[in-house]
Chains A and B, each alone.
Chain A
Amino acid sequence: MKHRPTVGEILQAKGVSRRGFLKYCATTASLLALPPSMIPRIAEAIENARRPSVIWLSFQECTGCTESLTRSASPTVEGLIFDAISLDYHHTLQAASGEQAEAARHAAMEENDGSYLVLVDGSIPMANPGYSTIAGISNYDMLMETVKGAAAVVAIGSCAAFGGLPGADPNPTGAVAVQDLVTDKPVINVPGCPPIPMVMTAVLSQFLTFGKIPDLDKHGRPLAFFGNTIHDRCYRRPFYEQGKFAESFDDKGAKAGWCLYKLGCKGPTTYNACATVKWNSGTSFPIESGHPCLGCSEPRFWDKGGFYEPLSTGKFGSGAKVAGAAVAGVALGAVAAAAGRRRQAKYTKEA
């Protein structure tokens, strides 16, 4: 077996200073709400980690999750760390293709049986395996085969976590989520459309450090990043409380940075770290840029009412059905009144 360098050795070789590395560990500890005493432990864990084998499967996806992850203006520590993982299989990023690529996947699976990580992005079509195949293999077959020896599965992005866009009404491909199919291995959902890059790497770092699945919420999302709603961490919250809302895009309120609730913001029901961690290394997030939150880290967010429909908009049923109810009311009332009058007439006759 060829020597597999530790992550620490790789970083050193790439010229990452110890200080830079420790700074990253400190940030990660902070993000995970861990005390400073944990920093050395994180550092040790990552440093000595043998580059774990990671197999990345891409199914019905737009590649946005990969794009998000690799988005960097200049190499970032995150990116390097990722390089430091043995990414043994990734459709988009790997050079190989075809039988060679599949052989690489099988080799990685055998060599690291029981300890490799499977990362999945994209949903899996169940209506017809032909909707999405790689090297002639259906997504379903590839997924079930690959997870057999996995230590854990991470569903990256809303498609893998919940079905995403393909799974939206009317779901022509019969798209399902990873957790719908994989029931015998731990599944961590890291949703978002796409997820925040730092969230993705922090989750992996956490797994590397502690070797176990982080605390998850009822949707299988790490509580560290999906434990609070956007609304509860949004910097525009005071405007919500004061009743100052933008009524339309680019109006006075919008320009003043007021709350976007009336423009359809799903912040109150969306759990994610956008409002604190933000995007592009903390540059901004949709609300700060003036667009209401789409709720993209929530299950079936495509079908939860229009993006520009405010959260409190109810569904009253069709006008026709309400009219039908009115007609029913008239009929019932008329029958009741007729019955009442008949009883009266009967008694009036009796006197």
Chain B
Amino acid sequence: MDLLEFARGPALQVAVYILVAGTIWRIVGIVLLSKKPDYSEARGSGGLGAALKVIWTRAFTAEPFKKATLYPKIMAYVMHIGLFATIFLFTPHIVFFEGWTGFDWPGLPNSAIFFIAVATVVSGFALIIRRMTSPVLKLISNFDDYFSWFVTMLPLITGLLIPVRALFRYEDLLAIHILSVALLLIWLPFGKLGHTFLVFITRGTTGMVFERRGAKT
């Protein structure tokens, strides 16, 4: 079995199993903890609608906080949107997902994806430099923050090496890229990358609790 077959085969499979098990473990481990009942008289319904609303609105910063948080916010947007585009709008990736889900959708031209991926890497570096230099972030950051950044950047960088055919032969670059994705999938449920699924719980819960009080969400 060569490196590419290993990467696409057993490595990816094991990564998916760990991703699924780890994600569900973390969610169940949180959701099955005790719940505090609330007997106070509700002002709002505090139901699913409130949860969904806040899941959407917290992606945007409220006006009074915008100025202070503008720079990291823009970098984070570039990073997330760039990741979304490179992962889901690049045709070889779309083909990958089609093999899995059966769904197909149009992609962007490769040159556009290349440009977006480069912008995403730049935003990633901008953010890590900020994390290492800002007094607040230096204080509160830990291993999880730096490692999560690393496993997110690695697929982007190894992916960018492929069209430029740098360092290794195509099939080895592809194998390394897929292995870096496997690493990302394995780490995802355990560190702060878990926010991919936790965000729905945290925002949703706050939405429900605060809307029930009629308080600002």
Contacts and interface: CB of A to CB of B under 8 A. Distances in A.
Interface string B162-198: 0001000011001000100000000000000000000
B13 A315 contact: yes
B56 interface: no
A314 B12 contact: yes
B17 A333 contact: no
Given A311-B92, A317-B17, A325-B21, A334 B99 contact: no
Contacts of A314: 8, 12, 96, 99-100, 178
A304 B98 CA distance: 18
Interface in B22-57: 22-34
Interface stretch (B62-70, B108-116, B119-127, B129-137): B108-116
A241 B110 contact: yes
A341 interface: yes
Contacts of B91: 243, 245, 261-262
A333 B16 contact: no
A317 B13 contact: yes
Interface residues of A, number: 41
A312 B33 CA distance: 41
A340 to B, nearest CB: 6
A341 B33 contact: yes
Contacts of B4: 269
Contacts of A242: 109-110
Nearest to A242: B109
Contact of B33 (A269, A309, A340): A340
A141 to B, nearest CB: 30
B18 A325 contact: yes
A268 B111 contact: no
Interface in A293-339: 299, 304, 309-317, 321-322, 324-326, 328-330, 332-334, 336-338
A326 B27 CA distance: 11
Given A317-B13, A326-B21, A341-B33, A333 B96 contact: no
B29 to A, nearest CB: 4
Contacts of B108: 243
B109 A312 contact: no
Given A245-B91, A268-B170, A240 B110 contact: yes
A171 interface: no
B20 A326 contact: yes
Interface residues of B, number: 46
B16 A316 contact: yes
B5 interface: yes
Contacts of A262: 91, 95
B96 A313 contact: yes
Contact of B109 (A241, A299, A340): A241
A221 to B, nearest CB: 13
A12 interface: no
A51 interface: no
A332 B27 CA distance: 10
> B25, B26, B99, B104 — which one has the most chain A CB atoms within 10 A of its CB?
B25
A344 interface: yes
A321 B16 CA distance: 10
Contacts of A247: 104
A316 B28 CA distance: 23
A229 B31 CA distance: 51
Contact of B95 (A261, A268, A341): A261
Contact of B24 (A241, A326, A338): A326
A329 B23 contact: yes
A269 B170 contact: yes
A293 to B, nearest CB: 14
Contacts of B21: 325-326, 328-329, 332
B24 A333 contact: yes
25 contacts: A231-B170, A243-B91, A243-B110, A247-B104, A261-B92, A268-B171, A299-B2, A310-B98, A311-B95, A312-B93, A313-B95, A314-B8, A314-B99, A315-B8, A324-B17, A325-B21, A326-B24, A330-B28, A332-B29, A333-B26, A333-B27, A333-B32, A336-B29, A341-B33, A341-B34
Interface of B: 2, 4-5, 8-9, 12-14, 16-18, 20-34, 91-93, 95-96, 98-100, 104, 106-111, 165, 170-171, 174, 178
Given A269-B174, A299-B2, A334-B28, 17 more contacts: A232-B165, A243-B91, A243-B108, A261-B92, A268-B174, A269-B4, A269-B171, A311-B95, A321-B17, A325-B20, A328-B25, A329-B22, A332-B25, A333-B28, A337-B30, A340-B29, A344-B33
